[in-house]
Structure 1
């Protein structure tokens, strides 16, 4: 445990954004984060079907003791933090995160950031139902600006909040749905909010123009990336899945070529998706802890560009507890803590 805390302390120094604390001899430190979902009601998981049985049962994410156990497990797995789903002020994700995670007695042991659920927030402001978010509409820009201002005021000043070079990290879900969006829009919003953010955009995808940043809707503009970094929350496309195949095979065949293209031209944060089995009845991707270790090794071979001072790469795990889509590494009644051990061993934590 002492060795782990020393490692964690180094990480917290690196992500604090103070170059004076860094030694020129210190190698860049990779960050490992997992998507975290504070949207479960104690004893009632009937909102959707789900795959697997969590060791903690049908817990509520507004329970600080549950969050404390999650944090303990995450530390044991070598995670540096969680990227928390956030669906707006007073959304369940907002309420449960405040009541549960932030009240855990060990919440200072990990960093956190948010994944902004743009589908649900911005498409509602758009008023359309075609999953295209039009930033030429003032109400869309206003909603985005107000939400970022809320996050900045309520959370970004927290010393536990993940920052890169002093800028709070926000992952933007499916930016490939953004239309009429440009660098000036982003600058204007940040100016109004009074905060510069480090945006990681969920833009790359397995189909269409999003395969390459040069042709992606919000990839490169005049040869420069629109966002600070890019990732792909989920590269699942049911028609390309061979039913029941291992996730490692699918990711190697379908996702890896796209990841490589993006990693060569942008700061890219690789996705680790151990398995997929969701409530919608799509084709299944299986996964074992040993296969997951191979996936980590595969993603570590991608081209790398430094994320920030003292930080090498960011690896994003889909997911800690997205039980509705069956991508979880949280301990369950089938694998126990095996995925946590696999993550720790694969990343040398």
Structure 2
């Protein structure tokens, strides 16, 4: 069984963020400014032993990888940004990783193909960087950019193929052209092929028809129906999460962790393509979006352990090279979604993974 955690590279300065949000902006900026928004709300979230690190120092990622592996995290899924016409952002840590073969951890790339808007940081729908799809020539350029990652021996392989995740494949207007272009270029480059994994899709999306090989559990889009499975969930949804009540109280949306578990663990008996369970340890994105955010209540290492065990059982139904649980995330600090050590819990979330890995 393998555990792969999503990895956010937005912990270094870039000119674009300096221009949009002020000089020196990184993910830590909003983390440090966070405040409690309701009774019992635990903000700000303080990092543990790694501190407010910077990915401008290549040794940071090496330290993270060493810590992750020592607790049973087999690899990172790096968010990668390609906006079309060769425009990339936050690429520096990944390029440093590629050059530094001493960072001994497996990885996969995930194309986070969404436009950047001000909603990321509480500034409404202001368009910052639009996601474009210029067509085949740009897809070839995109593949060439990724080819060194696909060829890297640390790249996760399934059926001998380099794993590549696409965050929202449905957003690609000519998805068939995109997939075929990458597959053709992979053959020309001497690769065995691309193993395609979708991340965020609608329930009726057919990955099989789109030539995808698998997908990560995306059932969270249907979470509202799972509130009904408990009295506390019903109360939250129809009272505290009522838009009128939230507007008056200026509170974020709150969801009990057991409701999240019910949603993410509602597995089908069969899937048309490979299904990879998604485990989420915690969530609180109010540092980014304030009262428009969402907070998971009662998300603890103990609850995460039960959740992760259920995901492991589901993943074990696949063949050995597909037995992977994807964990969201390693370090999305402004979304309160981390495995990294925190001041409150220390290494407790990592201890959960280590315990389950050794069982």
Question: Same fold judged by TM-score > 0.5?
Answer: yes
**Partners of 1:35 and 1:316 within 8 A in 2:** yes
Match of 1:289 in 2: 301
| SS, match of residue 306 in structure 1 | coil
Matched, 1:321 2:331: yes
Residues 98-109 of structure 1 aligned to structure 2 (within 5 Å)? 98-99=95-96, 101-102=97-98, 106-108=102-104
Q: How many residues align?
A: 288
Match of 1:176 in 2: 170
Q: Which runs of 5+ in 2 are unaligned?
A: 14-23, 32-43, 117-126, 228-235, 237-252
Residue 274 of structure 2: which of 262, 267, 271 is its match? 267
Structure 1: distance between partners of 2:131 and 2:51: 37
Structure 2: distance between partners of 1:106 and 1:65: 10
Match of 1:255 in 2: 264
Structure 2: distance between partners of 1:172 and 1:341: 30
Shift in Å at residue 34 of structure 1? 0.5
Residues 152-163 of structure 1 aligned to structure 2 (within 5 Å)? 152=147, 154-163=148-157
Q: 1:133 to 1:72 in 2, by over 3 A?
A: closer
**Partners of 1:87 and 1:120 within 8 A in 2:** no
**Partners of 2:9 and 2:93 within 8 A in 1:** yes
Q: 1:301 to 1:161 in 2, by over 3 A?
A: closer
Match of 2:75 in 1: 81
Match of 1:336 in 2: 346
Matched, 1:32 2:3: yes
**Partners of 1:331 and 1:338 within 8 A in 2:** yes
Q: 1:333 to 1:263 in 2, by over 3 A?
A: farther
Residue 235 of structure 1: which of 212, 220, 225 is its match? 220
After superposition, give the CA deviation of every residue in 1:146-196 in whole Å (9 maximum; x if it has no partner). Answer: 2122101x32222122222221111111223334533x6522442145352
Structure 2: distance between partners of 1:46 and 1:107: 23
Residues 1-349 of structure 1 aligned to structure 2 (within 5 Å)? 30-41=1-12, 44-45=25-26, 49-50=30-31, 52-55=45-48, 56-88=50-82, 91-99=88-96, 101-102=97-98, 106-108=102-104, 110-120=105-115, 139-152=134-147, 154-182=148-176, 186-193=179-186, 194=188, 195=191, 196-204=193-201, 210-211=202-203, 215-216=204-205, 218-221=206-209, 226-232=211-217, 235=220, 242=236, 243-247=253-257, 249-257=258-266, 260-261=267-268, 264-278=271-285, 279-281=288-290, 282-286=293-297, 287-302=299-314, 306=318, 310-348=320-358
Structure 2: distance between partners of 1:237 and 1:304: 25
Structure 1: distance between partners of 2:318 and 2:223: 33
Q: 1:93 to 1:232 in 2, by over 3 A?
A: farther
Structure 2: distance between partners of 1:251 and 1:285: 8
Q: 1:304 to 1:76 in 2, by over 3 A?
A: closer
Q: 1:312 to 1:238 in 2, by over 3 A?
A: closer
After superposition, give the CA deviation of every residue in 1:184-228 in whole Å (9 maximum; x if it has no partner). Answer: 652244214535211111144xxxxx22xxx31x4343xxx7301
Q: Who wins on radius of gyration, i.e. which is larger? A: 2
Structure 2: distance between partners of 1:348 and 1:40: 32
**TM-score for both structures, normalised by structure 2:** 0.70
**TM-score for both structures, normalised by structure 1:** 0.72
| SS, match of residue 82 in structure 1 | strand
Shift in Å at residue 238 of structure 1? 8.3
| SS, match of residue 265 in structure 2 | helix
CA-atom RMSD in angstroms: 3.2
| Deviation larger for 30-39 or 43-52 | 43-52
**Partners of 2:339 and 2:349 within 8 A in 1:** yes
